[in-house]
Amino acid sequence: MTELYCGKTIYRRRPPRFDLVAGALCLDFVNTLDDRFTSEPKELLKTYIDLARFGEDTGILSDAEADRLLTRSQTSSPDAQQALAAAIELREAMYAVFWAIVNKNPAPRTQLGILNRFVRRAAQHAQLVESDRRFEWKFDEALNFDAPLWPLAQSAADLLASDQLALVRPCEARNCLWLFLDTSKNHRRRWCDMAKCGNRAKFQRFYQRKKTEKRKD
Ligand SMILES: [Zn+2]
């Protein structure tokens, strides 16, 4: 089935495994460390398979590319492991930079340096490809274990250098704080996902009110 993801039509052979609610590829990637601010953060990228699945879910890898990387990751496990470690390093640098921005702080230099290193590497693999009288950026070496990292780094670079940067927000649920791009009409989106956090907050408010009412009785 074809679906729209971040303004791009992508083909999906199966429902996504990740909650892709951020409205920007790089922010969905940052959110792969779930419950980041709690005492028990949940790593959603535990193995290279998870990274390849994230690549497939977001359309940065075709299903054939994802399959080939998955098969190869089983036979060249140390290389796949290294790519996963690099992906986590990239994600954490992205998180640090975006988190500083939503808190109106300057980006931490070391983390920005790491991000820039990945952006430069991505640029080495980017090329212009013509399709239907238009040109688009494509990355070469789709079978390189690092291949999912290049579009991710590019997505962060594109967002950081765009006017949309001002629309990056954290989810208001304190135990969530996932990042998203608020492209809503009045720019008042509060939750990463209404079903996940909005309803829970509503329920908590309702429960809190009931408790106060009870105390008054
Ligand atoms: Zn949330």
User: What digits encode the pLDDT tens for the residues 103-142?
Assistant: 999 999 999 999 999 999 999 999 999 988 999 889 998 8
Q: What is the mean pLDDT of residues 71-79?
A: 93
The CA–CA distances, whole Å, from 146 to 83, 104, 184 equal: 5, 32, 33
Using the mean position of ligand 1's atoms as its centre, give its distance from the Cα of residue 113 in Å. 29
| pLDDT for 111 | 98
Using the mean position of ligand 1's atoms as its centre, give its distance from the Cα of residue 200 in Å. 9
The residue type of 190 is R
Using the mean position of ligand 1's atoms as its centre, give its distance from the Cα of residue 154 in Å. 25
- Whether 27 contacts 37, CB under 8 Å: no
| pLDDT for 202 | 65
Using the mean position of ligand 1's atoms as its centre, give its distance from the Cα of residue 211 in Å. 24
| pLDDT for 159 | 98
Residue 213 reports pLDDT greater than 80: no
User: What digits encode the pLDDT tens for the residues 30-55?
Assistant: 999 999 999 999 999 999 999 999 99
Q: Residues whose CB is under 5 A from ligand 1 (ion)?
A: 171, 173, 176, 178, 192, 197
Residue 204 reports pLDDT greater than 70: no
Collapsing DSSP to helix, strand or coil, 154 comes out as helix
Confidence of residue 206 (pLDDT cuts 50, 70, 90): low
Using the mean position of ligand 1's atoms as its centre, give its distance from the Cα of residue 42 in Å. 14
| pLDDT for 199 | 79
Residue 208 reports pLDDT greater than 90: no
Using the mean position of ligand 1's atoms as its centre, give its distance from the Cα of residue 37 in Å. 12
Using the mean position of ligand 1's atoms as its centre, give its distance from the Cα of residue 53 in Å. 22
Using the mean position of ligand 1's atoms as its centre, give its distance from the Cα of residue 178 in Å. 5
| pLDDT for 113 | 98
Confidence of residue 198 (pLDDT cuts 50, 70, 90): confident
Using the mean position of ligand 1's atoms as its centre, give its distance from the Cα of residue 210 in Å. 24
| pLDDT for 201 | 66
Could you tell me the domains of the chain?
2-190 (1.10.3300.10)
**Least confident interval from 164-173, 181-190, 207-216:** 207-216
Using the mean position of ligand 1's atoms as its centre, give its distance from the Cα of residue 70 in Å. 30
Q: What is the mean pLDDT of residues 164-184?
A: 95
Instruction: Write down the pTM of the prediction.
Output: 0.91
| pLDDT for 84 | 98
Using the mean position of ligand 1's atoms as its centre, give its distance from the Cα of residue 123 in Å. 32
- Whether 154 contacts 136, CB under 8 Å: no
Beta strand extents in the chain (DSSP E only):
2-5, 8-11, 33-34, 42-43, 126-131, 134-139, 168-170, 179-181
